[in-house]
Structures are given as C-alpha cells and as structure tokens.
Structure 1
Amino acid sequence: MNRLTDAIKHLIIINVIVFVAPQLLQLDFSNILALHFPKNEHFGIWQYITHMFMHGGFGHILFNMYGLWAFGTPLEQMWGKKKFLFFYFSAGLGAGAIYTLVNYYQFNGIYELFVNAGLNPSEILTILESGSTNDQRIVQNITQDQFNKIIGLFNAKAVGASGAVYGVLVAFGMYFKDAKLALIFFPVPIAAKYFIPGILAFDLFFGMTDYSVGNIAHFAHIGGALIGFLIAWYWKKNQFKRFN
C-alpha cells in the first residue's frame, strides 16, 4: 500500500475538514467558497482556490481523495512536496479557468440574443437574478431551453478537487504508462496509457453534448487534465530536479 506522503496527507485533511465542518456547524459556505460565474454577485477571485476544497457529497470527496492518494503518491515521491503542490494547484486553477471560459462562451452566445431582443444590461441582469420573466421580448425571441441554459450558467456553483485530480491522473499516466488500472464497474485491468485517454474522451463527449450523467463539470476535468499534461510534459522533457 502506498505510504501517505506529506503534501497529500495535508490536502486530504483540509478537504475533510472543509467537508465536515459546515455540516457540524449547520452552515452553508457555498456562496463564499464555491466557484461562481463571474457575473454573479457571489463571485470572488479567491474561489478559484477555495472551490478545490469543497465537495457536493460523501461519494464526491471519497472518489477525489482516493484518486489523489492513489495517483498522487508516486508523483510526490518522485517530485517532492513543493513541486507536487505547485503541480496540484496549477492543475486546479487551470481547471477552474477553463471551466469559466467555456461557460462564458456559452453564456455570451445566449446573452447576445437578449441584447438583440432589445434588452439593456441592467434589464438582463435583473432577469438573470430573478430566474424568471414575463417580458414579451424574451418570450418572443428566446426559447425555453436557451433561457434555462443561461440561468443555469449564471447560477452555476462548481465545487471539488476533480480538476486538480485529473491533472494528477494525467501526469501519473505519463510517468507510469504501463501501470494497470481498473474501474469498479469494469474491473478488467487496463494500462494507464489506454485507460486515462478513454476517461478523458468520455468527459469531452459528455461536455460537448446533452448526455451528461449527473451534475458534473466536464470541462473542469478537461481543463485540469490539459494543464497537468502541459506541466508534466515540460518537466519530463527537461528532467527538472527534485526540490523539497
């Protein structure tokens, strides 16, 4: 069994505290710590960090912390604590940034329809904040699906370490490509070099279609994986020395 390395141990402890404490105190910190859409009144730049320590349920945090431990341990042993933490937070920040950019792109496409219908920014913001309207300019020019989509984007709250963990997963696959991995529902071991691209392909498919399974930020996963790949590729190519 992998030894629990220092950085991963502390990351898991912080994640568990942030998950358990609000439940014990019966407080909801999601408006403060979850990652919101930039135009939402609850958005704060610090949320690009804090959202990585929040989770939506026991299964969510269990899966992420297991992935962090299983795939991150050999990386921290190889890189050292400081280098691993730099990598982890870079992947998490990249995940949040790409998630926001994709949401912004989708949001602006529908926002332009509001503008073309004759609404000014103040009117649009009021409608987005209320989540409903009887304005005939909206009724006549915006479909219900489009309206639901922009309301969902405006009010979206992203939580979880998944983006950072996906970066860790990709780096693991680059350094340990022949390691055998298996899913609970598909227990046949598959080499990391095939297993990880397969998972990313599913995320890309679900992110670009309406077939998503559950409330999952697929492009946060893709973003974390992309940033993780770029950093790990650069380090591997240049063979950076370990630093503690």
Structure 2
Amino acid sequence: MFPIRDHNPSGRTPFVTYALIAINMLVFLGYWGQFSAPGLDQFFYTWGLVPEQILSGRGGLTLITHMFLHGGWMHLLGNMLFLWIFGDNMEDAFGHLRYLGFYILCGLAAAALQIAGDPTSNGPMVGASGAIAGVLGGYLLLFPRAKVDVLLIFIVFFRIFAIQAWIVLGIWFGLQLMNGLGATQDGVAYLAHVGGFVAGAVLTFPALMRRGGVQFWRQTHGQPPHPQAKYRLAPSHIPRVPRK
C-alpha cells in the first residue's frame, strides 16, 4: 500500500522539485552500471555520509552529496514518488529558493539525528529520504486533511483509496519513530527520517503562522485552500453492505 498522488494542485510550476528529481535520476544513472563492480563500495564510502568520518572532521561535503545517492532502483523510485507527490505544494508554499533551502536544511537535520543516534558507525548512509521526510512533515502541518490516493495491491487485487494526509503521513512517521527507537537493524536510516520530518514541521511552522495559524486551519478545515484536483482514474468504489 503506497501513495500515488494527492488532490492538492500547486499554483506555480515546481521547477526546484523537478530539478531535484532530475539530478537524483541523472546521478543514479551515472553509477548504475557499476553496481556489480567492486569499486562501488568505495564510491559510496567516498560520497555517502559516514558518521564516524564526519565526527572525526573528514568528509564534510558528504553532508550534501549523500542526499543525491541511492542504493537501487526501488530506493530511488520510492523517494522520487514521494517528492513528486508532496514537493510541489511545499515549493508553492515557500517559493522556489526558500524551498530549496528548506529541503537542504531538512536533509542536514536528518543527517544530524542519524549521526547522533549512531556516532561510531562506519557504514555509509545514502538517499534523499531524510530531506523528503522534511517535505512530508511540512505538508502535514499545512494540509493535514488533503486527500491522498493510496494504491492497495494484494496479489491480483488492485484498489485506489482516497485517505486524508494526516492518516497517511501520520502512519508513515509512526513507523519510522517506532523502528528508530527500537534500533531496527535492517539497513534503513529511520532516525534520519524522524529528524527530517520533525525539522520539516518546525521550519514550516512560521509559514503556517503567517497564514493565520489555527485560524488558517479553521478556515480551510485542514484542506487545501483551493479547488481539489480531479482525476480520470478515480478512487475505487466500495459497495455498501446494508444491515438486515
């Protein structure tokens, strides 16, 4: 079960979001052919974020470069899907340059929490998910009741459900927090996701206050303050079963 789109159209062309997606794709394609080569591990150690190296004063540039590396196609496409769905609205809310700064700061906050949680790690962390988690945190603050279409796939069963953003993103964050606090060892930087998400909400709070804070929520009921998008492929209809 994963989100495929929201019903929250942006008011401006999200050039920065498009650029971030393009850069991530191009960087990945640049080294994709080397996945079976022995030198790829060294490439990730050189350009990925290694907490032990950062705390020893080395590899400062990797605080940025690690955000544009991915460990495989599913890692890349999953991150880019979330950025595509939610990034345009955050760019619309912040403006192009401020949104870029917001994205980078969220990525840095994500890296900071991951380093703090495992400072002696000598394994490289790669991926844009920490920065994208910040986008999700900000989106949740501004549009908690925006509709998000979620695709459910179960063997040969396909259904699209429209669910409010606070449910989709709240469940996602809860899973990251639970796994991060539980020190789950599956190679996923859960603490980075938590750090990015919280940073995104904190950095978005001033934007919410400029819109009126709680009054903005009351006026919009937590939904986008503009007409929702409609799609040809609509959410699946679920027949009601009346009581006898």
Both proteins in one fold, TM over 0.5 = yes
Question: Which residue of 194, 202, 213 corresponds with 1:222?
Answer: 194
Aligned to 2:217: none
1:132-171 → structure 2 map (5 Å cutoff) = 153=121, 155-171=122-138
Aligned mates of 1:157, 1:83 — CA distance in 2: 29
Aligned mates of 2:151, 2:191 — CA distance in 1: 23
Query: Is the Cα–Cα contact under 8 Å of residues 32 and 42 in structure 1 kept in the other structure?
Result: no
Do structure 1's residue 236 and structure 2's residue 218 form an aligned pair?
A: no
- Which structure shows the bigger proportion of residues in helix conformation? 1
Query: Is the Cα–Cα contact under 8 Å of residues 45 and 123 in structure 2 kept in the other structure?
Result: no
Tell me which amino acid in the other structure corresponds to 1:9: Y
Aligned to 1:150: none
TM-score of the two chains, using structure 1 as the length reference: 0.70
Aligned to 2:181: 208
Do structure 1's residue 72 and structure 2's residue 84 form an aligned pair?
A: no
Q: Quote how far apart the aligned CAs of 1:197 are.
A: 1.8
TM-score of the two chains, using structure 2 as the length reference: 0.70
Aligned mates of 1:185, 1:231 — CA distance in 2: 32
Query: Is the Cα–Cα contact under 8 Å of residues 106 and 130 in structure 2 kept in the other structure?
Result: yes
| Range moving further from structure 2, 40-49 or 87-96 | 40-49
Q: Per-residue CA shift, 1:47-100, capped at 9, x if unaligned?
A: 110000000100111011111111011221232110110111110111011110
Would the alpha carbon gap of residues 103 and 225 (structure 1) be closer, same or farther in structure 2, given more than 3 Å must change? Answer: same
Question: Which residue of 17, 21, 38 corresponds with 2:52?
Answer: 38
SS in 2 for 1:216: coil
Q: Per-residue CA shift, 1:13-63, capped at 9, x if unaligned?
A: 111111111134666321221000234889501111000000010011101
Question: Which residue of 7, 27, 34 corresponds with 1:18?
Answer: 27
Q: Quote how far apart the aligned CAs of 1:190 are.
A: 2.3
| Range moving further from structure 2, 41-50 or 168-177 | 41-50
Would the alpha carbon gap of residues 233 and 208 (structure 1) be closer, same or farther in structure 2, given more than 3 Å must change? Answer: same
Aligned mates of 2:210, 2:118 — CA distance in 1: 34
Do structure 1's residue 176 and structure 2's residue 185 form an aligned pair?
A: no
Aligned mates of 2:209, 2:69 — CA distance in 1: 34
Would the alpha carbon gap of residues 56 and 42 (structure 1) be closer, same or farther in structure 2, given more than 3 Å must change? Answer: farther
Long gaps (5+) in structure 1: 108-152
SS in 2 for 1:35: coil
Aligned to 1:198: 171
User: What RMSD over aligned residues (CA atoms) do the two structures have, in Å?
Assistant: 2.5
The structure with more radius of gyration: 1
Aligned mates of 2:63, 2:150 — CA distance in 1: 29
How many residues align? The count is 191
Long gaps (5+) in structure 2: 154-159, 213-244
Would the alpha carbon gap of residues 37 and 43 (structure 1) be closer, same or farther in structure 2, given more than 3 Å must change? Answer: farther
Identity within the alignment, %:
30
Q: Quote how far apart the aligned CAs of 1:102 are.
A: 0.9
- Structure 1 runs of 4+ aligned residues shifted over 6 Å read none
